[in-house]
Amino acid sequence: MRLLQRSLLIQAAVTFFVLIVAGVAMFFALRQMVEEEIDERLAERANAIFARLERDRDSGDPSASVSEVESQRTGNTYSDVSLSDTPGGEREPWRELKAVRELHGKHVAVVLRTSRLEWEDFSETIFVVFMAAAVLLLIGGITANALTSRRIWRPFFRNLEKLRQFSARQDAPVEWSASNIREFSQLVDSLTALTEGVRGEYRTLKEFTENASHEMQTPLSIIRTKLERIGQHPALDRELAESLEGAAMAADRLSRLNRSLILLAGVENGQFEVTQPVDISQIAATQVTLMQDLFVEKDLVLDSHIDAGVSHPCNAYLTEILIGNLLSNAIRHSEGAGKVELRLARERMTLTNPGPPLPFPSEQLFHRFRKGGADQGSSGLGLAIAKEIVRLHGWTISHTWRDGRHEFEIAFRLQIS
């Protein structure tokens, strides 16, 4: 439930409860006031009748019942009675007063009645008008509060959407929606400091990665060249040759790592464009052909099923690297002789290879320098690069292991025609 909906629901519930309590209290208060008014008017009529009886010996009120009673305490007695105008007719509520006074040495009782219908209709009319006004006030208050709250909270929700879309890679700072509410202004200040700090740290990390990778390239080239020249020296003995071979392998691995870091930084920084559809089927078929000999060397059978004409908007160079990294990963981490399966369809691409289960959750497999095996020749960046390439294209990649096989699945973002 959204914040505004919850607040309006709470307000409506509290207001409705208050109106119900107020309505019930008003109903009984009106009933009491009407009853007191009726009793007061009956008492005034009784006093007027007794005054006329004392003066003229005539009540002057045909509706009054006057009679002598045995000696009893004087005073007024009120009661509610139900009477019918005609025999068998509908009975109506009446208010009755029996007033006893001592008059000319005798006790005289005067009985007066008045219908309660008119008074009850009057009180019900007032109650209905009150409740109608209360309901209109409730609806009007909730509507006004909803409109006002929506306008007050509009900057908050705009900033929330901007925060969802925020990326440390973006060049320009976030333009937050201003508000004259102090708490919202404080929130904007905090968000500005937070996002600018994140962008600054990302720029620093990006510059360090780019500079370090580029600065390493020249020394690595020199080292490899020197090692090759030393390896060709005629006085080189076997022990030194093995040492040089190990050093050359380490330099090659460092060079691959450097190229991977440069590529990863380029993908993350948005240096590659995704503009037009590319024939992924052709790219996949080419990669399978180029890497076929590597599978044969590892006694692996590559079983590929590539649908023709699979095309999606993507970067051709990055797509080649993506498929190549997945195939290289399958070669490197498949245990023993087995079959590697590649499936490419319009909706997805899957690649499965035999191997033991991972010693960590599948999500960590796409982290940098996270390796699924003990292969020292791996840089640990191949799947991290694949993950970033997939993210750049708006696709998704996942990994599962079942029945002794690893499965990588890439789900393409289909274009709605």
* Domain end call among 268, 292, 324: 268
Cβ 302 vs Cβ 292: under 8 Å: yes
Domain containing 233 — which CATH number?
A: 1.10.287
Q: Give the C-alpha separation, 137 to 12, whole Å.
A: 11
Q: Do 20 and 112 belong to one domain?
A: yes
Tell me the pLDDT tens digit for each residue of 137-147. 878 877 887 77
Tell me the pLDDT tens digit for each residue of 293-352. 888 888 888 888 999 988 988 888 888 889 988 998 888 888 777 889 999 999 999 999
Between 237 and 372, the more confident residue is: 237
Residue 146 forms part of a structural domain: no
User: Which contiguous run of DSSP H or E holds residue 193?
Assistant: helix 182-231
Q: Residue 53: what residue type? A: L
- The reported pLDDT for the residue numbered 372 is 58
- The reported pLDDT for the residue numbered 1 is 53
Q: Do 196 and 286 belong to one domain?
A: no
User: Which contiguous run of DSSP H or E holds residue 118?
Assistant: helix 117-165
Q: What is the DSSP letter of 176?
A: P
User: Which contiguous run of DSSP H or E holds residue 48?
Assistant: helix 3-56
Q: Do 222 and 308 belong to one domain?
A: no
What is the residue range of 129's domain?
A: 3-139
Q: Which residue in 389, 397, 395 sits closest to 414, CA to CA?
A: 395
Q: Give the C-alpha separation, 67 to 107, whole Å.
A: 9
Residue 263 forms part of a structural domain: yes
Chain centroid to CA 395: 23
Q: Give the C-alpha separation, 310 to 279, whole Å.
A: 6
Tell me which of 49-53, 149-153, 375-379, 388-392 is least confident.
Answer: 375-379
pLDDT of 148 over the 80 cut: no
pLDDT of 373 over the 70 cut: no
Among the residues of 351-414, which ranges form H helices? 382-393
Q: Give the C-alpha separation, 349 to 173, whole Å.
A: 37
Q: Which residue in 92, 72, 67 sits closest to 82, CA to CA?
A: 92
- Alpha-carbon radius of gyration of the chain: 47
HSE, side-chain direction, 13 A CA sphere, residue 311: 6
pLDDT of 66 over the 60 cut: yes
Domain containing 371 — which CATH number?
A: 3.30.565.10
- The DSSP-derived string for 214-283 is HHHHHHHHHHHHHHHHHHT-TT--HHHHHHHHHHHHHHHHHHHHHHHHHHHHHHHTT-S---SEEEHHHH
- The reported pLDDT for the residue numbered 218 is 72
Cβ 412 vs Cβ 395: under 8 Å: yes
Q: Do 249 and 299 belong to one domain?
A: no
Give whole-number Cα distances, 291 to 34, 144, 300, 323, 405, in Å.
100, 69, 11, 11, 20
Residue 332 forms part of a structural domain: yes
Confidence class for position 89, pLDDT limits 50, 70, 90: low
Q: Give the C-alpha separation, 184 to 88, whole Å.
A: 73
- The reported pLDDT for the residue numbered 315 is 86
Q: Do 262 and 289 belong to one domain?
A: no
Q: Do 206 and 282 belong to one domain?
A: no
Mean pLDDT of the residues in the chain: 80
- The reported pLDDT for the residue numbered 282 is 93
Report, as an integer, the average pLDDT of 31-49: 84
Q: Do 14 and 56 belong to one domain?
A: yes
Confidence class for position 415, pLDDT limits 50, 70, 90: low
Residue 206 forms part of a structural domain: yes
Could you tell me if residue 153 is left (phi over 0), alpha (psi between -120 and 50 degrees) or otherwise beta? Answer: alpha
Q: Do 250 and 287 belong to one domain?
A: no
pLDDT of 155 over the 90 cut: no
Greatest pairwise CA separation for the chain in angstroms? 159
Cβ 366 vs Cβ 387: under 8 Å: yes
Q: Do 115 and 10 belong to one domain?
A: yes
Cβ 218 vs Cβ 254: under 8 Å: no
Residue 168 forms part of a structural domain: no
Residue 22 forms part of a structural domain: yes
* Domain end call among 76, 108, 139: 139
* Domain end call among 139, 169, 197: 139
Q: 3-class DSSP state for residue 321?
A: helix
Q: Do 192 and 286 belong to one domain?
A: no
- The reported pLDDT for the residue numbered 281 is 93
Q: Do 372 and 287 belong to one domain?
A: yes
Proportion of the chain above pLDDT 90, given as a percent: 8
Q: Residue 129: what residue type? A: V
Q: What angle do CA 30, 36, 42 make, to 5 degrees?
A: 135
Residue 174 forms part of a structural domain: no
Q: Do 304 and 406 belong to one domain?
A: yes
pLDDT of 264 over the 90 cut: no
Please count the structural domains in the chain: 3
Tell me the pLDDT tens digit for each residue of 234-255. 777 777 777 777 777 777 777 7
Q: Residue 325: what residue type? A: N
pLDDT of 417 over the 60 cut: no
Q: Give the C-alpha separation, 226 to 35, whole Å.
A: 115
Cβ 203 vs Cβ 170: under 8 Å: no
Confidence class for position 31, pLDDT limits 50, 70, 90: confident
pLDDT of 377 over the 70 cut: no
Residue 175 forms part of a structural domain: no
